Structure 1
Amino acid sequence: MYAELKQEFYKLGHCKLPWWIISFMILFMVVIGLGMGQQYGKLLVMTSYDSSQVIMLILIVIGSTIFSMEFQNKTILTLMFHAPNKATVYVAKFLTIFIYDLFLHAIAIIVTVFFNTVPLIAKLVSWTAIYKYNQPLVVNMFATAGVDMIASTLIISLICLTSCLINSNTVVIVINALIVFMGSNLSSNLLNSNIGPIDIIRWNPFNMLNLTTQYYNYGTYHLTSHLSNPQLLIGTLCYIAIFTFLGYFVFRRKRF
């Protein structure tokens, strides 16, 4: 496993896109700060300047490249030849995307700390100010980042599954981007269409995409998801396990 992880990190580290795309995330945070910083300073700090959506988009682009491009270019054959088994290759790629996700969240937190220390784009707010869930703002920020790590891991599991099902990198990116940006609305439409019992439909996988947004805006999104925060968390963890296992099942049976 160590050799496979080392190889994946080497490829990721020597690719320009994963590094250049971070500037896009920071630019997005700047734009959000300029647009909302004077009125929603605490909310921006709690959400790391609304970096959740852009991080998921970055993961889709980079994660799909890590998987699908290997299939398109047939370089997966070289990995399979040197690896002891397919599980090692699959897990190494999953962990590489997960650690890159952790890195992106760390960058978002560092940028947030900078923005809330140097008054360049938004009004400064106190880190110890009591905000959501009767907690200090700094606790809110780290808690939201932790929750979003779980939500983004759901996207990683979807990336792995769709990349193993579809060899086209472009198609995988489009499908997962549509899921991220339209999944919550699709779930809401399903719940409002009265096509079945809400107690069952509310557990659909698209509804789990509300996990992060509901955590920092419970009053609004609880009415949309029809699930509590713990229920969304449990559902998300379950779907992560399901999609990850399905992805490996497809990967193991895939012909190269």
Structure 2
Amino acid sequence: MKIDLLHEFYKFAHRRIPLYGILILLGLMLYTIGTSYKISPYLLTQGFGAGQWAIIIIIALSVDMISMEYRDHTMATLMYKTSNKSALYTAKFIVLVIYSILLLACGVLFSFIIKGILVGSRYYWLENYHGHSLINALLLNVGGTLIYLLFIVAFSLVLILLIKNNATVIMIGLAIGFLGADLSSLAMVAFPSLKAILAWNPLNMINIISQLSNNDMQKITYLTNSQLIIANLIYAALFFGIGLSIFKKRAI
């Protein structure tokens, strides 16, 4: 496992994609500001959209992490060097999770820099926002995004192993990121008698990136913070297990 992990880190670190991901995140955060009516406390707590954009970037990287090996015919070499497919798949998952942490940390750093340049002292990080200071709300939302990324990384790996088409998987990821929460809410409104069950659907999980700092979101998700966290972790474990099973059985 250690050798597989070091090998995956080495490959990932020596590609340009990780750097591009960070630069793209910065560009998309600036795009969010440009398309917003004004910079508000809400926008600050969301890190200028850093969490939402990080999700999209990680989906694309997760897809490429697997498809690249098959596309470049390097998967056979990897299988030859390791006798444990489980360790190889787990190593790829861990690398993606650690990069997710790095990406979100960059998002927080960029948020401080952008706020300092564009807003200055108009809003103080210690100002109250839904019972939290702005800085605590930002960190809570980043923490929620990280938990959701465990789920979305595992889910993306399953999709690329099943569908084997990068563009299709990324489109599905975009749909989940931009429409998932609305579709989940629509389903619970349409079937109110089933909302206690529908609240646990996968599309509802993305709301964790906002709910931890805003308890009013519970009126939309119908789940408490702890329930939403547990559900995301359960889905992450479930999809990780499914992806691992598919990976072990897939022909090279």
Q: Same fold by TM-score, threshold 0.5 exceeded?
A: yes
Q: Matches of 2:195 and 2:130 in 1, distance apart?
A: 28
Q: Which amino acid letter does the alignment assign opposite residue 208 of structure 2?
A: L
Query: What is the CA distance between 1:196 and its match in structure 2?
Result: 6.1
8 Å Cα contact 2:144-2:210 kept in structure 1: no
Q: Matches of 2:212 and 2:36 in 1, distance apart?
A: 19
8 Å Cα contact 1:4-1:92 kept in structure 2: yes
Query: What is the CA distance between 1:191 and its match in structure 2?
Result: 1.4
Identity %: 27
8 Å Cα contact 1:130-1:137 kept in structure 2: yes
1:189 aligns with 2:176: no
Q: Matches of 1:37 and 1:111 in 2, distance apart?
A: 20
What CA deviation, in whole Å up to 9, does each residue of 1:8-36 have, x standing for no partner?
A: 22222222232123222112222333555
Match of 2:205 in 1: 208
Q: Matches of 2:111 and 2:21 in 1, distance apart?
A: 18
Match of 1:128 in 2: 126
Query: What is the CA distance between 1:100 and its match in structure 2?
Result: 0.8
Match of 2:229 in 1: 233
1:248 aligns with 2:244: yes
CA RMSD of aligned residues (A): 2.1
1:7 aligns with 2:3: no
Query: What is the CA distance between 1:195 and its match in structure 2?
Result: 8.4
Q: Matches of 1:12 and 1:50 in 2, distance apart?
A: 25
Match of 1:73 in 2: 72
1:176 aligns with 2:141: no
8 Å Cα contact 1:191-1:202 kept in structure 2: yes
TM-score by length of 1: 0.89
8 Å Cα contact 1:30-1:121 kept in structure 2: no
Match of 1:60 in 2: 59
What CA deviation, in whole Å up to 9, does each residue of 1:114-135 have, x standing for no partner?
A: 223x3x32353222223333x3
* Residue segments in structure 2 that go unaligned for 5+ positions in a row: none
The 3 A distance-change label for structure 1 pair 150 and 181 is same
Q: SS at the partner of 1:68?
A: helix
Alignment length (residue pairs): 251
What CA deviation, in whole Å up to 9, does each residue of 1:96-127 have, x standing for no partner?
A: 110110010010111112223x3x32353222
The 3 A distance-change label for structure 1 pair 130 and 194 is closer
Which of residues 144, 149, 162 is equivalent to 1:152? 149
Q: Which amino acid letter does the alignment assign opposite residue 88 of structure 2?
A: V
What CA deviation, in whole Å up to 9, does each residue of 1:79-109 have, x standing for no partner?
A: 1111130011100000011011001001011
Q: Matches of 1:33 and 1:163 in 2, distance apart?
A: 32
TM-score by length of 2: 0.90
Q: Matches of 1:37 and 1:12 in 2, distance apart?
A: 38
Match of 1:111 in 2: 110
1:48 aligns with 2:44: no
Query: What is the CA distance between 1:193 and its match in structure 2?
Result: 2.3
Q: Which amino acid letter does the alignment assign opposite residue 128 of structure 2?
A: I
| Range that drifts further, 13-22 or 205-214 | 13-22
Q: Matches of 2:31 and 2:118 in 1, distance apart?
A: 9
8 Å Cα contact 1:33-1:49 kept in structure 2: yes
8 Å Cα contact 1:38-1:123 kept in structure 2: no
* Residue segments in structure 1 that go unaligned for 5+ positions in a row: none
